Structure 1
């Protein structure tokens, strides 16, 4: 007997639409990160034109992640309650218009305000978008899908940095932002035309039961948002996810400047080479997600141990890379470290999804996004920027991998308390089952 999850009220063979949803959601995520990371491609130009310090450049990156960290949770809760599709489209329009504001910024202060609104628009896209995608696929694919979806951030960064650098060199840095804004608006319109709440409900995958009535009843159960913070295993996943993103965020933000300063590359070439390493980050997220699903197929608990391995490899590789001279050996170690830098992203997202009730899944993944941004995407680039003003960029980058130690500790704690976390989830569904009546 097959154990595949099947959509409620829909034959299993008609499964094309979920992949269309995944593709459109992924395309919007690409646009999200293209709009966010195109800035790093023009760092050298802004630094020269406006005479900015590394700390000021870092603040233009970190303000986006900071707003994502602050607003992701409340906006995810709103999306869970009032419609995920409507929320996703609104977010895409806001960040695209804010990116357009970046294109016409006349000063550092104007750019900072525009980037603030980019962060507001992007705040909950990752959490709500991945909740939409996971909702129409079997849990046995969740690590792979989570890794692939979250890798969209790295792939979007690759395109944003590479394309943004080329456009900036030939047409000027303002056109780089304009191109990203137009793309975001086009994709938002396409998503709104194809994806609807009714279609998502029709293809929803909820449990292994063939009893559609039972599945529908389970779907009606609503648990309080407070349940997101009463499970120790979920907390371990939040913390591990955030800390492992610290170094990945540093690589996403500072590799163009690294190659510009230490390999004497012009902004366009530095952006192109950096894009290759960012591409490795994204590829690693996909591959590590697939590996995790394979090794944990018969024992879900092994997701935690797989994540520990990924963090450990990146910790060792990057720690050595930033302490040796420039050259082939350094680039090889950087490539290995980059590949595994965010490999834990898929497993941690799958753990959070698997340990929380579907009625608050956007909120749960939103909380993970908060951790990823506050502990990683916002903190990482800013801390390294501040340290670079005092120690130099290379010495500062050498300190970034140390944050993996905290992630590894959190993952090992999660591995230990995971069985209790599953029991708590089951108890929540039983406790609040009366609300489905």
Structure 2
């Protein structure tokens, strides 16, 4: 009489994350997240410290607002142009190795900002900062997600993206304080030293071998190209109309958020008569609200779209509408508590659509090219928002005044709203296109 051996149940995700499988531990993925997140904060500290020293540069080098804006926009422009090609290189050369090179480059370039003697030298140094920071966001989040199970990817993505706002806060606040007490050059030097210390620690703790040992990518729902499975064509990043709407909507909503990151220190300095250090602290409070709003709005979006994913488009629309009204009215008012309240409320929702648009890109692209899809979203965010926004306001401020320019800036949300409405309507078509890719991959054709 034969005996039936019961089949061994499939391991749970918790078991896969446990210390008993392939040398994995529960702690190491969080260590990777913590160090990668810390470098992201250093990234944005190096990028946004410039905003805190605008008054010093304007006075010492007799710069106009458009020149100041160009020092900010050159970084975002490089990020927008280089993110996708550098992300592709990192996937082949090694993500950990690439992140180390990036962090060293932007830290050394920030040190060059500290010794710049004129506008042209500062612009060249900021160019190098942008090259170093170009693909860090997309490669960094890809590294983090590779060591965590898919069930926590949305939460980690939202938290990681919000790190840019928190890094901006520290860069602006600390940069302003250091500039007042030690001089603006020390503001850049401090950010550079902080970045170099962090990257040294990252290099010691995070290695390609350890990351591979703790990889959770084998739990992905679709075959991974690295494992010899189907890889969707790069063209699929641009042939899904709903995904294109998410790119445009995400980039357009970052237009105003980028302006708040760059110009609120100057706004408080000029219209509230605050010294640069106090203006930096006041602006930092607004930026904290921007980052907090990204996290909270991401959580709200997950709740709204828990059963019907398509509803995430609607939450993004709501966030854009609230910020549009609050910031337009707020910057149009005279200075005072009511204006500050509206600016803070608008700032809280200013980048709230980042989570929903990222979720739509992730949900409507094949897993084998998802990192490239996030890189493409980063390109849109930078070209349409982080690079374009501060520069446009700088040009308008030279002609109309900073207050009037800031009042017009939220109109960019109208572009985002149109894109999100179209994306909502095209979402079913986007799902069908993704399903067609899934059927093709299941057919075994490479």
Which residue among 13, 16, 20 is the counterpart of 1:6? 13
- 1:275, 1:425 → 2: CA distance? 41
Greater shift in the superposed pair: 221-230 or 191-200: 191-200
Please tell me whether the aligned partners of residues 232 and 414 of structure 1 are also in contact (alpha carbons under 8 angstroms).
yes
Cα displacement (A) at 1:100: 0.7
Are 1:408 and 2:421 counterparts? Answer: no
- 1:12, 1:392 → 2: CA distance? 60
Q: Counterpart in 1 of 2:37?
A: 26
Are 1:353 and 2:362 counterparts? Answer: yes
Cα displacement (A) at 1:21: 1.8
Greater shift in the superposed pair: 36-45 or 301-310: 301-310
Please tell me whether the aligned partners of residues 58 and 68 of structure 2 are also in contact (alpha carbons under 8 angstroms).
yes
Q: Counterpart in 2 of 1:152?
A: 163
Q: Counterpart in 2 of 1:204?
A: 216
Task: Give the secondary-structure state (helix, strand or coil) at the position aligned to 2:309.
Answer: coil
Q: Counterpart in 2 of 1:105?
A: 116
Which residue among 361, 373, 386 is the counterpart of 2:382? 373
Which residue among 72, 75, 88 is the counterpart of 1:61? 72
Cα displacement (A) at 1:5: 8.1
Are 1:271 and 2:269 counterparts? Answer: no
CA deviation profile, 1:62-84 (whole Å, cap 9, x unmatched): 00011111111111111223322
Please tell me whether the aligned partners of residues 249 and 357 of structure 2 are also in contact (alpha carbons under 8 angstroms).
yes
Please tell me whether the aligned partners of residues 312 and 404 of structure 1 are also in contact (alpha carbons under 8 angstroms).
yes
Which residue among 123, 126, 135 is the counterpart of 1:115? 126
Task: Give the secondary-structure state (helix, strand or coil) at the position aligned to 1:398.
Answer: helix
Task: Give the secondary-structure state (helix, strand or coil) at the position aligned to 1:322.
Answer: helix
Please tell me whether the aligned partners of residues 84 and 135 of structure 2 are also in contact (alpha carbons under 8 angstroms).
yes
Please tell me whether the aligned partners of residues 140 and 297 of structure 1 are also in contact (alpha carbons under 8 angstroms).
no
- 1:435, 1:52 → 2: CA distance? 60
Please tell me whether the aligned partners of residues 141 and 293 of structure 1 are also in contact (alpha carbons under 8 angstroms).
no
Please tell me whether the aligned partners of residues 271 and 335 of structure 2 are also in contact (alpha carbons under 8 angstroms).
yes
Cα separation, partners in 2 of 1:333 and 1:162, compared to 1, 3 Å: same
Identify unmatched segments of 5+ residues in structure 2.
Answer: 1-9
- 1:405, 1:4 → 2: CA distance? 48
Q: Counterpart in 2 of 1:51?
A: 62
Cα separation, partners in 2 of 1:214 and 1:76, compared to 1, 3 Å: closer
CA deviation profile, 1:5-46 (whole Å, cap 9, x unmatched): 838955499533222222111111100000000001000000
Cα displacement (A) at 1:205: 4.4
Q: Counterpart in 1 of 2:4?
A: none
Cα separation, partners in 2 of 1:302 and 1:17, compared to 1, 3 Å: farther
Please tell me whether the aligned partners of residues 77 and 362 of structure 1 are also in contact (alpha carbons under 8 angstroms).
no
Identify unmatched segments of 5+ residues in structure 1.
Answer: none
Q: Counterpart in 1 of 2:7?
A: none
Please tell me whether the aligned partners of residues 148 and 346 of structure 1 are also in contact (alpha carbons under 8 angstroms).
no
1:185-334 matched pairs, under 5 angstroms? 185-201=196-212, 202-205=214-217, 207=219, 220-334=229-343
1:120-131 matched pairs, under 5 angstroms? 120-131=131-142
Please tell me whether the aligned partners of residues 8 and 215 of structure 1 are also in contact (alpha carbons under 8 angstroms).
no
Cα separation, partners in 2 of 1:7 and 1:106, compared to 1, 3 Å: farther
- 2:444, 2:103 → 1: CA distance? 34
Cα separation, partners in 2 of 1:46 and 1:295, compared to 1, 3 Å: same
- 1:265, 1:271 → 2: CA distance? 9
Larger radius of gyration: 2
Cα separation, partners in 2 of 1:303 and 1:203, compared to 1, 3 Å: same
- 2:231, 2:404 → 1: CA distance? 49
Please tell me whether the aligned partners of residues 71 and 124 of structure 1 are also in contact (alpha carbons under 8 angstroms).
yes
Cα separation, partners in 2 of 1:207 and 1:250, compared to 1, 3 Å: same
Cα separation, partners in 2 of 1:217 and 1:43, compared to 1, 3 Å: closer
CA deviation profile, 1:357-411 (whole Å, cap 9, x unmatched): 3332222111111100110000000000000000000011001111111111111
- 1:358, 1:8 → 2: CA distance? 23
CA deviation profile, 1:296-346 (whole Å, cap 9, x unmatched): 222222221111111111111111101111100000001100001001112
Please tell me whether the aligned partners of residues 320 and 333 of structure 1 are also in contact (alpha carbons under 8 angstroms).
yes
Cα separation, partners in 2 of 1:217 and 1:68, compared to 1, 3 Å: closer
Cα separation, partners in 2 of 1:142 and 1:295, compared to 1, 3 Å: farther
RMSD: 2.5
Greater shift in the superposed pair: 336-345 or 124-133: 124-133
Aligned length: 433
Cα separation, partners in 2 of 1:200 and 1:307, compared to 1, 3 Å: farther
